[in-house]
Structure formats: structure tokens, C-alpha cells
Amino acid sequence: MYIKQIKVLVKKELKDSFLSPLIYILTGLFCFMMGWLFFNYLMQAKTLTTATMTQAVITPIFGNMNFIFVFLCPLLTMRTFAEERKQSTLDLLLRSRLSEMQIIIGKFISNAVLILFMLSFTFIFPLILAFSGYSDWGVVGSSYLGVLLSVMAYLSVGLFCSSLTDNQIVASLLTFCILLGSMLMVITVNATNNYLLALIVQYLTVPFHYEGFVKGVVHSYSLVYFASYLAFFFLLTLKSLQSRKW
């Protein structure tokens, strides 16, 4: 029953999302940017004699893909709870048979499916490389895993920020500031020459862990990090929703 209720919510959310032009606009922008970057990296790779295809194309393309999602995820999640609050339907949803955590999980899964929809258009890139003899599929697989985990982390932040306000723009900006701020924090701390502090702050940021996946290395501590990251922001979102009952 628990999973069945979540599935009903996911179907509703996906239906609403695919009836909205937003997902198609974001997907179009994503495909355009990724296509342009891939073409340029591929052209540059032909002029390089020392770099491998992984170094010249795969590593930079996935590095940029992760950064692009820092901008797209806030736009994707901004309406998740903010629109419900604005239309006064969130309280009705909270009074339904669904628990707060079921609502959070359902909305998270629906957003994750939209991300998979966007990512599916990039599968053509490895296929193009395959025709040129590329065979380092372990790096490609770990890079996609890294993207998925990173984006899931971004989505969890977006859900939390969207639960705080009924203004979609505010929710989007707040999410973007948190995501970008965490990245800039590393640069700031590194400038202090405090090695221990820099190491701690780096561990707390997504890019530090994402870097390993792009290199083809999946560390167990990175998997623990992403699981903890999701749990932390799920808990914050849960507390935010529960506060509406007080």
C-alpha cells in the first residue's frame, strides 16, 4: 500500500509535468548545450596527439554536464511544492492518506524521472564514440552514475527550498544559491591555506565526490556521502511540511 500510493502520486506528477512546456524547454536547452559542447570537444580531440578520448571528450563533457544541472535543477524543482502552496492545494495533499514522507518521495521520484528523460538524449554521444573505436565504457558508466547521484542531491535541495515558499522564482534562486554557494565555498577555503579545513569542506561538497566518478573510480565513502546528503535534505523537507500542521 505504501509503494502503491507513491506510484499514484508519481503518475500524477509526471502527467502534469509532461503537459507543461517547461520540461520541453529545459530539455531543449540541455540538448543544445550538450550537443554544442560535445561537437567542440570532439573537434578539439582530433588535433590532440597526447590526450586520450577519455581525457579530451568524456571527462570535460561530463564535468560540464554536472555544472549545467546546477542551473537546470532549480528550474525543474521550483514548482514542486511552491505551486501547491500558491494554489492552496498543499494542505489538501497533506491531509490525504499520503504521509509527508510519501509525498516527498513521490515528488522526488517524479523529478528524477524527468532528469532521466533529459539524460536519455545524451546516450547518442557514447554511440558516436563507439563508431570511432572508443571502448572505455567503465568510465562512461561511472560518469553517468556520478551525474545521477549529483543531480539527485541537487533535486533534494530543490524540494526543500520549494517547500519553504509559494513563490517559484524565490524557490529557484534559493536552490541555485545553495548549490553554487557550496562550490564557491571550497574556493574560498582553499585560499586560506588551511589544509584540514579545506579537506573537511571539500568532503561536504558534491563536486569533490563527483570527480572520482568521472575518473572511473567509485568510492564507498562517496556513496555514503550521497545517501547522507539525500537523507539530510529529505529530513529538512519533512520538517518544513510538518510545520504547516502546527
Q: Residue 102's closest CA among 237, 246, 224? A: 237
pTM of the model: 0.93
**Amino acid at site 125:** F
- pLDDT computed for residue 136 by the predictor: 86
Q: Residue 110's closest CA among 100, 98, 102, 121? A: 102
- pLDDT computed for residue 88 by the predictor: 78
Long-range contacts, stretch 106-109, CB < 8 angstroms, 24+ apart: 106/5, 106/6, 106/9, 106/10, 106/13, 107/9, 107/13, 107/80, 107/81, 107/159, 108/152, 108/155, 108/156, 108/159, 108/234, 109/6, 109/10
Q: How far apart are CA 133 and CA 171, in angstroms?
A: 45
DSSP-derived letter for residue 165 is -
With 90 as the cut, is the pLDDT of residue 131 above it?
no
Per-residue pLDDT tens for 200-212? 888 888 988 999 9
Question: Of all helices (H) and strands (E), which one includes residue 56?
Answer: none
- pLDDT computed for residue 27 by the predictor: 97
Say if residues 17 and 23 touch (Cβ distance below 8 Å).
yes
Instruction: Tally Cβ neighbours within 10 Å of residue 1.
Output: 6
Lowest mean pLDDT segment, chosen from 18-22, 47-51, 93-97, 98-102 = 47-51
Instruction: Name the band, by pLDDT with cuts 50, 70 and 90, for residue 141.
Output: very high
With 90 as the cut, is the pLDDT of residue 145 above it?
yes
